[in-house]
Amino acid sequence: MLSRAAAAAASLGLFQRLGATTVNSLASTSYSTSADTVNGQQHVSEERRRGIANKLLYRSKQRGFLELDLLMGLWAEANIPKMTMAELNQMAFVLDEENPDLFKWLTGQLQAPEHMQKNPVFVAIQSHVAQQLQDSAPPQTRAPAGRDWVRGWDDGWRGQQQKPPAEPLPKAS
């Protein structure tokens, strides 16, 4: 069985043996495009673009975080098929983010980092989520912007002062 590094090296060798003139990687994913460069422009076959789009659509819908699966998957289903290769690359960068961070950024619980605020695909998804919240969740049912919506199951102790017991416990004889 090959290690991940060996498998990645083997697949890169495969692309080179197939005669691809340029190998581009989409974000940090294992997806790569075989592109021909003509007049300084990269061209990807429609079949290859569709395959990459399908992989990104799957990653959008199957993140393992139900709320994010719904937010990302529904938006991706409507928008990924129409995306250009540059937009697909930006989508791959969004999908590389960790689930809890991405969820909090999209729902306004935390300010997104600058690199995400500059990503046009992230901005489009974020505006879609904001519109969904506006349409279906009255403001009084949501936490204020910049605040967590839900606390974890063991967060009840946070913010409370530890009080010493009123009376020492009796010693066992």
Residue 28 inside a domain? The answer is yes
Helix ranges restricted to H, the chain: 4-17, 46-61, 66-79, 85-95, 99-106, 114-117, 120-136
Residue 67 domain flag? yes
Q: What whole-number distance in Å separates Cα of residue 156 and Cα of residue 58?
A: 36
97 domain-assigned: yes
Would you say residue 5 lies in a domain?
A: no
pLDDT digits (tens, 9 = 90+) for 78-130: 999 999 999 999 999 999 999 999 999 998 888 999 999 999 999 999 999 99
Q: Evaluate whether residue 121 is within a structural domain.
A: yes
Looking at the domain assignment, is residue 74 inside a domain? yes
Count of domains in the chain?
1
CATH code of the domain containing 77? 1.10.150.250
The answer to whether the CB of 95 falls within 8 A of the CB of 59 is yes
Range of 77's domain? 20-144
**DSSP label at residue 156:** G
SS3 assignment for 110-124: CCCCHHHHCCHHHHH
pLDDT digits 0-9 by tens, 48-79: 999 999 999 999 999 999 999 999 999 999 99
Q: What is the pTM of this model?
A: 0.62
